[in-house]
Structure 1
Amino acid sequence: MNWFDNVSSDSDQRIAPACLYQGHWRHRLRAHGELLMCRVVLDVAEPRVVAAQVIEQGLVEDLDASELEELNQVMLAQEVHHRPLAWGLTACAMLPLWAKPTFSESQIEEMERIQGYLIDASDDSVDTVLQLRDQFLQGIGMTCEDVHRAVRQPNEYGKSLRKGGRGLAS
């Protein structure tokens, strides 16, 4: 067996292929605020919300980490991941273009492991490791471009302030 044939083999837990669903969800971002329309991507294999944006007065903004975690808890508490179609979500093979993805700890560890393989790869095996990376990302419903979007600095989005002092991602 080649040393990178099974990247997850030295992990305590194998990473399940993503099973992504997307749709809209009404969510209260502030304790006494009104329900706002959000678009979400839910991975029912993990289960967790991979990406979400709030749509308010025609403006679209990514949820920050704490808002995303709160939305995740609400959707899990209502067991949306057990019957996503019943909640109006639709299956999607890959992350939608609008979504700025987040990654689970196990996915991050796997990408770091693959990066280590890439650093150690000989000239002859670099393409194989890159192919392995692409297969892993495809398995979790993402591409290299999604990873790039996830790690961009906020200023690259052209932030501007909106009502409530929160930035707007264009």
Structure 2
Amino acid sequence: DASLEGVGEIPLRRLIREALRMRPTRLVVGEVRQGEALDLLIAMNSGMPAMATLHANSAREAVTKLCTLPLLAGSNIPGDFVVPTVAGCVDVVVHIATDRGGVRRIGEIFALSGRIENGLIEMAELFIDSGQGLTRANGWPPHPERFKAAGMDLAQLLGVADGSAKGWAA
């Protein structure tokens, strides 16, 4: 925001672009609310590992919002560019919910398949809230090599002994 004198505003879009000029190993954006989502997606689409937060009521709604926010960039950005870009460069969405006592907890974790059906990105549930905490669902991330390249053991993360379930191999 601008100062009391009305000067000095530095838009988040500019900060993202300037950060990319510094050749970071990853990009972390605290809260995406507007057109900066476009710059984030372009960076991710070029192979930049990134993480961001945004406000939504569920993991599915977060993906829908991430597909909508870049359209606010003011450019001529068509939806048929944004949806496949989100599908192709976002691996996992973690939704944090606030319980009745005001405590924030992970409510669900979804993986994006990379496939689009009738304009919607297909997603697989990795973990869901069973009322007793997170429970492993039967979904699988479509790109295990991305996790491996980041130094993560996907089978261990998902709580699978051998990683061979559902035709997936570590």
- TM-score by length of structure 2 reads 0.27
Instruction: Flag the structure with more relative contact order, 1 or 2, with Cα contacts below 8 A and sequence separation at least 6.
Output: 1
- TM-score by length of structure 1 reads 0.27
